[in-house]
Structure 1
Amino acid sequence: MRIHSLPTQLVNQIAAGEVVERPSSVVKELVENCFDAGASQVSIEIEQGGARLIKIRDNGCGIVKEDLPLALSRHATSKIASLKDLEQVVSMGFRGEALPSISSVSRLTLISRISDADCAWRVNADGTEQDFNPQPDPHPQGTTIDVRDLFYNTPARRKFLKTEKTEFAHIETLIKRMALSRFDIGFILSHNQKEIFNLKPAITESEQEQRIAGICGSAFIENSIKIDFAASGLQLTGWVGLPTFSRSQQDMQFFYVNGRLVRDKLVSHAVKQAYQDVLFHGRHPVFVLYLTLDPALVDVNAHPAKLEVRFREGRLVHDFLFSALHRSLADLRPGRNLMQQVEVEALPQTPAVLDAKPNNVAWLNDSVTQQSKPNFDNKTAYSSRSPQQASLPLHVEEAMQAYASLYPKPEPVAQSAQPEARPLGHAIAHLHNIYILSETPNGIILVDAHAAHERVTYERLKQQYQNGAVPNQPLLLPIKIKVSAAEADLAEQEHEFFNTLGFEINRSGLETIVLRSIPVLLGNTDMETLVRDVLADMIEHGMSQRIQEKSNEILATVACHGAVRAHRRLTIDEMNALLRDMEQTERIGQCNHGRPTWVELSTNDLDKFFLRGQ
């Protein structure tokens, strides 16, 4: 066959194959046009899941009568005029393909009126871009687009539609997601003449939280924190769920770039990294987040349906997102109001590295010093001297005191401090040798001692490791450990890496290594088991090039073995020492595996259990 031009309607039907996958695709394109028209109210009327009718009405600026034929023609738009405009798109739609594409696979009617016109004008379209004959209409200011019998002239496409219930579910989910992107707009959605929801414009923060609660559930707002971070021309606002409020699916993750809902692998990776050591395995975080940046720094033209974007400085965006979320989760501590807004005006140039706060460093090293003491007193932390510690030289305590003296110690807490000054209260019992029972002015708190101590130890190790100073203590009697030849090779090869973790390990034979020094924090740990497990983790994760990437996982393994064991009876002093450390530890709400470390029952909760006052 000779080369020939395709008919206009067929060209538009081919284009429709890219942007009109199902009824919800039509709704998305048309509602985005409402946004660009400056509408404050959008009404979406659906019949038979959208197969019979999709009717979108707004109160936006409208379209001039003379432009109506152009609005229904391919590659005609009011939103860009040059390549420069395309490189910094600020509107939701810009291709000029949606209306002609939709009209080529449906019976489309467009009615629109501008503010100073005597009346509205109505046109019908069939995708041929011909025979437009505008007719007057009493429609108020704004635009209505009536799409009937979708895919009536492409039966093969119509066969791929799902049930009415399924198709409408896609539309309802879409409108909810779009409603989260524009709090300043009201949305009304109806199906088969039945109103599904009516969302009023949400201007205040309280109204916005009500809209989110209506869409994501009240539990989301109750278990989330509001954040507002800005740095390097980027701003991230929104709500992120607590690690303990997670889901088995990624169905409550809403991320918007300059108001556009997108799916992006770079964003997903940054979020996953931020939650990696606080989320239980197999669970997914929940969030509603808004990233705002210069439109020139993001390409929204990377996907026909505009569902994906491409960042021009991907690494900068990734590190910014990671730091913003990482710090917001780190700042969650007992006694903090969850809905308190987190604001940071500037982040470090290398945001992936946590910066230590001086007062935290002082407290950290003071606690390290206390853990090396052989006996308990009123300042003692929650570790006891094990038989292995008996092999420590007597000068260790003095050495560690000298190390801690490099930092000023915090002011001691007055003995007369009231319980209100202690967010986790005061310990009164150790239940089943596992759970700490603490009393607060507002109720009671239960703490999983092992899980909490594990997080405290892990955060200290991370901080020390990042500062390049994990304090260690030499063993008076080195420990010989039998391992496989491969493990001995690895221990010898990664000698320097073990040093950074506070271990001194030397090879002593084909299948023998010798442990000569250990981290001070782990003085009461089964070192032989710990070293074997760390070597096994390192072999599983790969050799040296991947060890640095997996350092947190290795530190988590170290912390797990270093944590106080379940069923070891704790004294009141030990329990209170742990509670005080918890109050100053980042991410204390979860252990390294994502399990909760503590739970609070208020006096109101207790009254309900026992029907008091009823």
Structure 2
Amino acid sequence: MCLPEHTINQIAAGEVIENPASVIKELVENSVDAGSSQITIHVIGGGFRSISVSDNGCGMGKENLKRAFIRHATSKIATLSDMDHLSSMGFRGEALASIGAIAKVTIKAKSKFSKESEGYSSQCCGGVVSEIQAAARSTGTSILVENLFYNVPARRAFQKGAVASNREIIKLVTKLALAHPKVGMKLICDSTQKIDAPAAVSNSSEIEALSQRVETIMGYEEKEAMIKLTMERGDKRLIGFLGGPSSARTTRAGQFLFVNHRPVFSPFISKAIYDAFGTRLSTKEHPSFILHVHLPPQTQDVNVHPQKKEIRLKDKSSLYTWIFRAVETAFGRAEKVFSSSSFEEQAWDCSRQPPVPAFFKKSQDTSWESVVSSQSVAAVIENPKPVENSSFLKEEYWPLVVLGSFKTWAFLDKKALNGRLKPPYWSKDVPEQGLIVFDIKRARQKIEFEKLVENLQLSSQAKQVLLVPKTVKYLAHEALLVENALEFIRDMGISMRPFGPDSFIIEELGSAIDGNNLQDLVLSLADAFERESNIEEKKQREKIALLMLRHRKGQVIGASDVEIRYIFRSLMQLSSPYYSPKGGAIFGFIGESDFESLLSKPH
């Protein structure tokens, strides 16, 4: 049995058209391919009611308009070999046919090569194409999409609401505006203008056009705080802007990567950028960047993902080195240059002597920190045995014997405690000799986490008025997300209000709020409000507390013996003191066999 043609088209449309934002992506990229210098997008009802995209490109003649809704009808390639020289955004000829199969689509177009005074109009509804008619239109193309998913109710049922859809559309158009800085773009959602990015001056360089566009989208101050990057080698070119360590985020929301003006996700290129940032960022931070990579078409394969979000690249080793070096140079650190041999596995030189263990180093200082190296301790406590259900820890055996501490760990004398321990408080298979490993960092996190959960449970947190209110600015789609969650953010302890386009002013902070990194914290809270609003209240408080804990300023590593005792006493007052908020063990045990295993390993 063969499926009917219209059913095939509706199924195939699901690969290309995922939501209203994907409709706009396909139509805008067609406008870019048509050489447009100005594109206007008008959305009503989150795009489900209608989407209108108008441009001033080369337009379409009557003959091309007749083929517009035929699947795989395209003027961009003729044979597969043309993919090696592809310069357009689209090439499959699927977009209009896919949209026409699940919506009512009306096209009005006039070719710049036409000698007639008017253009033509064509309509497709549910895959059925009507006759072409004459229509008033200046040079360019206008496409109106109405009642999206009207004939596929199952697809419509899984779509987000209008507000969430608008946010996705704003996010997409922001990407497209940064991808094509020489093309003017305007986005209107219902009756509100969300994005107005005028085209750059025609004779401006690419980096000048991108600079102007970044300033329009992100603001002058944000652009000035970024580092300009330009590098060219042969037929490869890299331009863009890098955010400094102070603009790092806890998510990848500030990252915009384009390959030949195409917004893509490339873990390989991202890794080169992350590696170049190096120790400027902590392991939990993500850099902000806007980068355009220009590569010869034959060195990449864009025909990988139905929506062209992913690409395959050739000569990865050379490309990694080039991007890494470009980012390093932009930061003024070009002293470390990678060669292609860095990517090859090097054979071990058997003539070399094994290094002397670091903990045998001579030192006048006999303290725990100087005698035991980081490598030896890390090896010992790599897999400590969890101490579970040890009710003896709830009792106060003072003085608590602290044998020593190293970075985030403290070592407690088990032998001193063992004489007062009786089964089943301590497992029978644990030997008498050994050390209790106490993770100071996790213990601190657990204590702070429980405090946050308790504060979030209060109906009204005590707030402190900021002496100098703080202004935060977001991208258009982020500002919409924050605006919808303002009441929730106030309940979480941050009093703020709108303050100009896409900006907010923070006036009061609750006692549980750390004043560092407020901009990222507010955005994370708004995102959590959208995702977690339907879960049980206690679980929601725990998730929010964990989120706020992650945004707190990094804690001081290490602690004195007095501090360790205080942390231990505070931890034991909790109902569940044995595991960190993320589930990591706070206590562990190192026995005699662990030390024997360590000493038997070659160093």
Q: TM-score interval w.r.t. the shorter chain?
A: 0.5 to 0.7
2: distance between equivalents of 1:332 and 1:264?
A: 24
Alignment of 1:268-283 (within 5 A): 268-283=270-285
Q: Where does residue 253 of structure 2 map in the other structure?
A: 251
Alignment match of 1:89 (pick from 86, 89, 92): 86
Where 1:75 maps in the other structure, the secondary structure is coil
User: 2:134 corresponds to which letter in structure 1?
Assistant: P
Where 2:58 maps in the other structure, the secondary structure is coil
Contact 1:8 1:127 in 2 (8 A): no
Q: Where does residue 33 of structure 2 map in the other structure?
A: 36
Q: Where does residue 80 of structure 1 map in the other structure?
A: 77
Alignment match of 1:196 (pick from 186, 194, 197): 194
Alignment of 1:325-404 (within 5 A): 325-331=327-333, 349-350=339-340
1: distance between equivalents of 2:381 and 2:292?
A: 37
Q: CA deviation at 1:52?
A: 0.5
2:7 equivalent to 1:10:
yes
Q: Where does residue 61 of structure 2 map in the other structure?
A: 64
Contact 2:197 2:216 in 1 (8 A): no
Distance 1:140 1:497, change over 3 A: farther
Contact 2:83 2:297 in 1 (8 A): no
Contact 1:323 1:352 in 2 (8 A): no
User: 1:125 corresponds to which letter in structure 2?
Assistant: C
Distance 1:186 1:541, change over 3 A: farther
Unmatched segments (≥5 aa) in structure 2? 344-349, 384-405, 408-552, 555-603
Contact 2:70 2:97 in 1 (8 A): yes
Q: Where does residue 288 of structure 1 map in the other structure?
A: 290
Q: CA deviation at 1:215?
A: 2.0
2: distance between equivalents of 1:77 and 1:539?
A: 64
Alignment match of 2:360 (pick from 514, 534, 545): 514
Q: CA deviation at 1:77?
A: 0.3
Contact 2:272 2:320 in 1 (8 A): yes
Q: CA deviation at 1:230?
A: 2.4
Alignment match of 2:376 (pick from 526, 530, 535): 535
Distance 1:127 1:86, change over 3 A: farther
Distance 1:110 1:497, change over 3 A: farther
1: distance between equivalents of 2:81 and 2:316?
A: 21
Contact 2:318 2:340 in 1 (8 A): no
Q: Where does residue 470 of structure 1 map in the other structure?
A: none
2: distance between equivalents of 1:183 and 1:318?
A: 26
Distance 1:123 1:278, change over 3 A: same
Q: Where does residue 119 of structure 2 map in the other structure?
A: 120
Q: Where does residue 373 of structure 1 map in the other structure?
A: none
2: distance between equivalents of 1:525 and 1:135?
A: 93
Contact 1:239 1:288 in 2 (8 A): yes
Q: CA deviation at 1:265?
A: 1.3
Q: CA deviation at 1:219?
A: 4.0
TM-score normalised per structure 1: 0.56
Distance 1:107 1:289, change over 3 A: same
Unmatched segments (≥5 aa) in structure 1? 334-346, 354-492, 499-503, 507-512, 543-556, 559-593, 596-614
Q: CA deviation at 1:280?
A: 2.6
User: How much is the aligned-residue C-alpha RMSD, in angstroms?
Assistant: 3.3
Distance 1:22 1:349, change over 3 A: same
Contact 1:121 1:135 in 2 (8 A): yes
Q: Where does residue 169 of structure 1 map in the other structure?
A: 167
User: 2:125 corresponds to which letter in structure 1?
Assistant: D
User: 1:536 corresponds to which letter in structure 2?
Assistant: V
Contact 1:229 1:236 in 2 (8 A): yes
Q: CA deviation at 1:84?
A: 0.5
2: distance between equivalents of 1:207 and 1:270?
A: 25
Q: CA deviation at 1:225?
A: 0.7
Q: Where does residue 408 of structure 1 map in the other structure?
A: none
Q: Where does residue 215 of structure 1 map in the other structure?
A: 217
Where 1:9 maps in the other structure, the secondary structure is helix
Where 1:230 maps in the other structure, the secondary structure is strand
Q: Where does residue 312 of structure 1 map in the other structure?
A: 314
Where 1:276 maps in the other structure, the secondary structure is helix
Q: CA deviation at 1:534?
A: 2.9
Q: Where does residue 181 of structure 1 map in the other structure?
A: 179
1: distance between equivalents of 2:186 and 2:15?
A: 28
1: distance between equivalents of 2:234 and 2:87?
A: 20
Where 1:275 maps in the other structure, the secondary structure is helix
Q: Where does residue 20 of structure 1 map in the other structure?
A: 17
Alignment of 1:556-567 (within 5 A): none
Q: CA deviation at 1:505?
A: 4.3
Contact 1:104 1:127 in 2 (8 A): yes
Count of residues in Structure 1 that have an aligned counterpart in Structure 2:
376
Distance 1:524 1:79, change over 3 A: farther
Q: CA deviation at 1:83?
A: 1.1
Alignment of 1:489-500 (within 5 A): 496=353, 498=355
User: 1:515 corresponds to which letter in structure 2?
Assistant: K
User: 1:325 corresponds to which letter in structure 2?
Assistant: V
2: distance between equivalents of 1:153 and 1:84?
A: 37
1:96-128 alpha-carbon deviations (Å, 9 max, x no partner):
111000000000011111113212100001353
1:170-202 alpha-carbon deviations (Å, 9 max, x no partner):
111111110001111111111113322321112
Q: CA deviation at 1:325?
A: 1.5
Q: CA deviation at 1:12?
A: 1.4
Q: Where does residue 226 of structure 2 map in the other structure?
A: 224
TM-score normalised per structure 2: 0.57
1:280-323 alpha-carbon deviations (Å, 9 max, x no partner):
33111000001111111010011001011111222322222222
Q: Where does residue 52 of structure 1 map in the other structure?
A: 49
Alignment of 1:473-492 (within 5 A): none
* Greater mean deviation of Cα atoms: 303-312 or 533-542: 533-542
Q: CA deviation at 1:540?
A: 7.7
Q: CA deviation at 1:539?
A: 7.0
% identity of equivalent residues = 33
Contact 1:8 1:129 in 2 (8 A): no
Distance 1:534 1:328, change over 3 A: farther
Q: Where does residue 108 of structure 2 map in the other structure?
A: 111
Distance 1:540 1:137, change over 3 A: farther
1: distance between equivalents of 2:297 and 2:19?
A: 29
Where 1:214 maps in the other structure, the secondary structure is helix
2: distance between equivalents of 1:227 and 1:95?
A: 33
2: distance between equivalents of 1:264 and 1:26?
A: 23
Where 1:145 maps in the other structure, the secondary structure is strand
1: distance between equivalents of 2:314 and 2:189?
A: 41
Contact 1:319 1:351 in 2 (8 A): no
User: 2:323 corresponds to which letter in structure 1?
Assistant: L
